[in-house]
Structure 1
Amino acid sequence: MSTREELIEKTRGWFTGRLPEDLFEGAPEVTVDREEITVVGRIPEPTYAEGASEAEKAAAVEGRIKEFRERTREARMAVARDAEHKFRRKVSWGVRCGDQGRLYTHLSVPVMTRLKQPERALLDTLVDGGVARSRSEALAWCVRLVEKHAGDWVGDLRDAMRKVEEVRETGPDRDGGQADDGGHGDA
């Protein structure tokens, strides 16, 4: 059985080999979870006129991102079809251009959760205050806030979980259920 890290590495490798060579600058970032594979690649920045303002540069990058999306749609869809068949997950796309990043498509997956009244009240406060349009959106906002403010800690937790998975892979039950009886079988 493959570990999660092996699955991610195999998926990243498959995309690196399968994508048209000139699609992105360098290897893409590939993120995998239970439902989705997200592929984000870097595209070249447009050439700016000398003395271009920040607004002009931002508009040029936005135009480049839109142009790239339209021009590469068929190639990306062909790769996505192959990947969805192989990995049994939906494929989402995004790009980085200059200092901007944009996801073209990505899944919004419902996640069942049980919340007590004070937690629901907090979500309702966010909705009533106009921070979010729904409890679902408010919960997503909270998750993004945790990621922003506890990102290093979450990264450390993920690293620790990978280490636990590695230790499990080398555990004593990895011999297919065949117990070592020390040569004293039931003969």
Structure 2
Amino acid sequence: MVEGIEAEVLGWFIGRIPEGWFTQPPELTMDRDEILVVGRLAEPSLPEGAAPEARAEAVVARIQRFREETRPQRMRIATEAEHRFGRKVSWGVVCGDRRELFTVLSVPVMTRLRLPERQTLDTLVEAGVARSRSEALAWCVRLVAKHQSEWLAELREALVRVQQLRQSGPELE
């Protein structure tokens, strides 16, 4: 169950998104900078026995059409949400097995690294895995997220529980 600000934001978007855009309520992902709204599009109907390539192209075309046709309304909704919630809004869709995000934020994050950590990033750059230390660090974060996804999910659940306990605890005067 979604609670707190996430529930408020989800309810607001459900109320603002036009009927028929998505086949189910959108998925929201939030942090202190951004709200990512991802909706599921209806899959295109193809003749029985259509080739997998035709299906893949139809999905890509459905996503492109949605992006182009809804751009003005999505921008208007995003502007309202940005004023209301103080966060940038990004959009994305899922159609079939394809997930595509439109113009998401790339936020700089300041960090201090010692020589061994910098050498790791520089090795990734020198090997051509990344173009810069910044890109190498983002690659490392994605790698941890991929290989430690279960642990990160448990950690997020624990943080939600901590937040709930804080809210239900005694009030300080």
Give the TM-score of the pair, scaled to structure 1: 0.87
SS at match of 1:92: strand
The answer (yes or no) to whether the contact 1:5–1:162 under 8 Å persists in 2 is no
- Give me the whole-angstrom Cα distance separating, in 1, the residues matched to 2:132 and 2:52: 35
* Cross-structure match for 1:23: 21
- Give me the whole-angstrom Cα distance separating, in 2, the residues matched to 1:85 and 1:16: 17
- Give me the whole-angstrom Cα distance separating, in 2, the residues matched to 1:15 and 1:156: 27
* Cross-structure match for 2:46: 48
Of 94, 97, 102 in structure 2, the residue corresponding to residue 96 of structure 1 is: 94
- Give me the whole-angstrom Cα distance separating, in 1, the residues matched to 2:131 and 2:57: 29
Give the percent of matched residue pairs that are identical in Structure 1 and Structure 2: 57
* Cross-structure match for 2:125: 127
Spell out structure 1 runs of 4+ moving beyond 3 A. none
* Cross-structure match for 1:143: 141
The one-letter code sitting in structure 2 at the alignment partner of 1:46 is P
The answer (yes or no) to whether the contact 1:16–1:28 under 8 Å persists in 2 is yes
- Give me the whole-angstrom Cα distance separating, in 2, the residues matched to 1:5 and 1:159: 13
Alpha carbon RMSD of aligned pairs, Å? Answer: 1.4
Give the TM-score of the pair, scaled to structure 2: 0.94
CA deviation after TM superposition for structure 1 residue 54, in Å = 2.0
Report how many residues are paired: 172
SS at match of 2:25: coil
Note if 1:166 corresponds to 2:164.
Answer: yes
CA deviation after TM superposition for structure 1 residue 53, in Å = 2.2
Gaps of 5+ in 2: none
Q: Which has the larger radius of gyration?
A: 1
Gaps of 5+ in 1: 178-187
Note if 1:109 corresponds to 2:107.
Answer: yes
- Give me the whole-angstrom Cα distance separating, in 2, the residues matched to 1:29 and 1:168: 26
Of 50, 65, 68 in structure 2, the residue corresponding to residue 67 of structure 1 is: 65
CA deviation after TM superposition for structure 1 residue 5, in Å = 4.5
